[in-house]
Structure 1
Amino acid sequence: MTRTTPARPVSVEAVFPDLAAHRGRTTRLHPRPGRPGMRDSHVGGPILWPDLEPWPVCHEPHQRETEAYVPDDIRSARAAGVWPRSRPWPGAGTPGEDGPVPFVGLAQFFRRDVPGLAAGPDGADLVQLFRCPFTHDPYLERRYRLRWRRAAETERAQHFLTAPPEVPMLRWEHELPEPCVLHPEEVDTYPWAEDDELPAPLITLIDSWDDAQAAERGPDAPSYQCDLSIPPGWRVGGFPSWASTGPRTVDCTSCATPMRLLLTAGSDEMDADSHSWMPLEDRDPSLRGNASIQGGPSVVQPTRLRFGRDADLHVFTCPADPGHPPQWVLS
């Protein structure tokens, strides 16, 4: 089933003609619970991984825990529509005390499925995203990893890993991704209107328009940031949203080149301020606004993953050399 973003509440470039010069494209991924295969682009499904290749692991010390969730308990509870039961953490309560911790495979994207996916090093056209399931002192930081591959070369492997290593317990229910199929859709997108993301006169015009809309239409008024610029949820390419932190400069640590946004992993597919982006296929046409959204958690929180305090995880790569280390920014 396709997913179709509704027309914006107003014609963006009719209201702000100067934005035409700043228009970009992003691919909304629209993850929805399903049964993806290892040769599919997906969130939370089986990762295409040759069985002779070591699975990525985290060797760093991890935050001590006192209670957690068994992955199979999480899966059973989700199937039953209930919250899983937590269990006391056995032993001394250090997740990595018996050795390295395997990363959790969060997602993989093939360029053949996802328009706009930037090329990786040496022409790689498959990217896989991993996260350590535990936090790291002193600031409860997370560790992520990207694995780039050439899809055709990888698919020629004789055997693939069907049961990757898994930690026996997870600190949070939202560490385990729900397997989701994707419904990629390209849409227009415009930069965040703050600081140097757009010319100052244009930002002033946008702010004035927002104020006028709010004065005229009240709490249901559209706004540039929420309704016209950047869609919520999982997406590839386009512009980062800076709702939590404000704009940041992200330069390559190897060559100082300004980095580009590879992908965004969203904690939610919508919130109270961004419901206008919810696809037509997930709406009741007889209702309006937020009340029209159908499908509950499978639509609003399909992947069950969380990033920071319900933030977006932006993954940046170097356009000069995709082999340079990526950067991870929560906003």
Structure 2
Amino acid sequence: MTRTTPARPVSVEAVSPELAAHRGRTTRLHPRPGRPGMRDSHVGGPMLWPVGEPWPVCEEPHRPEAEGYAPDDIRSGRAAGAWPASRPWPGGGTPGEGGPVPFTGLAQFFRRDVPGLAAGPGGADLVQLFRCPLRHGSDLERRYVLRWRRAAETEAAEGFLAAPPQLPLLRWEDELPEPCVLHPEQVVTYPWAEEDALPAALIARIDAWEDAQSAQHGRMAPSYQCDLSIPPGWRVGGFPSWASTGPLTVDCASCATPMRLLLTAAGEEMDADSHSWVPLEDRDPSLRGKDAIRFDRTLATPTRLRFGRDRDLHVFTCPADPGHPPQWLLA
């Protein structure tokens, strides 16, 4: 089933014609719970991983943990609509101190499925995203891995890993992604309107327009940031949202080239401020506005993942050399 973003409540370039020069495109991925295969683009499904190839592991020290949730208990709890019971950590806690911890596969994307997905090093057209399921240091930092592949070469392997290694317990329920199929859709997008993400004079005009809209429509007034610029949820390419941090400069650590946004991973596909982006297929056509949205967990938080304190994870790569190390930012 396709997903179709509704027309914006206001024409962005009618608000300010100068925004036409800053127009871009992003691919909304619209993950929804399903049964993706290893040859599909997905969030939370099985990775296309040749058998015999070492699975990525995190060898850094991890914070000690006293309890966690078994993956099978998490799945059973989700199916029953209940919270899983926690269990004591095997061996009295301190996982990871005695050996490496396997990364969790979060998502994979083929360029053949996802319009706008940038090519990787050497023309790689399959990218796989992993996260360490445990936390690091006093700041509870996370570790991510990006793996690029050539799809045709990988699909020609003699065999594939049926079940990746995993910890017996996960510290949080939201460390286990729900398998989701994707419904890619390209939409027009515009930069975040704050600090130097757009010219100061243009931001001032956008602010003045928003003030006028609020005076006329009150709480129902459209907002540039929430309704007209950047859609919520998982997406590829386009512009980063900076709701928590404000715009940041992201340069390649290897060559100082300004990096480009490869993808955004998000815990939520919608919230109270972004309802105008909810696809038409997830609405009741007999109703209007927020009343039309079919609110349920499979729509709001389909992947069951969280990033930071409900932030977006932005993954940046170097356009001069995609083989240079990526950068990860929570915003």
Which residue of structure 2 aligns with residue 106 of structure 1?
Answer: 106
The code of the aligned residue for 1:261 comes to L
The code of the aligned residue for 2:294 comes to Q
TM alignment of 1:120-199, pairs within 5 A? 120-199=120-199
The code of the aligned residue for 2:147 comes to R
Moved more, 7-16 or 250-259: 7-16
TM alignment of 1:283-322, pairs within 5 A? 283-322=283-322
- Are 2:95 and 1:95 equivalent residues in the alignment? yes
Which residue of structure 2 aligns with residue 208 of structure 1?
Answer: 208
Give the match's secondary structure for 2:160.
Answer: coil
Give the match's secondary structure for 1:145.
Answer: strand
Gap regions ≥5 residues in structure 1: none
Give the match's secondary structure for 1:26.
Answer: strand
Report how far residue 164 of structure 1 moved. 0.4
- C-alpha separation in 2, matches of 1:236 and 1:139: 28
In the superposition, the TM-score normalised over structure 2's length comes to 0.99
Report how far residue 295 of structure 1 moved. 5.0
Report how far residue 95 of structure 1 moved. 1.5
> Does the 8 Å CA contact 1:272/1:290 hold for their aligned counterparts?
no
> Does the 8 Å CA contact 2:15/2:206 hold for their aligned counterparts?
no
- C-alpha separation in 2, matches of 1:227 and 1:295: 18
Which residue of structure 2 aligns with residue 24 of structure 1?
Answer: 24
Which residue of structure 2 aligns with residue 64 of structure 1?
Answer: 64
Gap regions ≥5 residues in structure 2: none
In the superposition, the TM-score normalised over structure 1's length comes to 0.99
The code of the aligned residue for 1:317 comes to T
Give the match's secondary structure for 1:263.
Answer: strand
Report how far residue 88 of structure 1 moved. 2.0
Report how far residue 156 of structure 1 moved. 0.4
- Are 2:255 and 1:255 equivalent residues in the alignment? yes
Which residue of structure 2 aligns with residue 266 of structure 1?
Answer: 266
Aligned length: 331
Report how far residue 287 of structure 1 moved. 2.6
Moved more, 92-101 or 220-229: 92-101
Report how far residue 214 of structure 1 moved. 1.0
- C-alpha separation in 1, matches of 2:34 and 2:6: 23
- C-alpha separation in 1, matches of 2:239 and 2:31: 19
Report how far residue 121 of structure 1 moved. 0.2
- Are 2:65 and 1:54 equivalent residues in the alignment? no
> Does the 8 Å CA contact 1:26/1:189 hold for their aligned counterparts?
yes
RMSD: 0.8
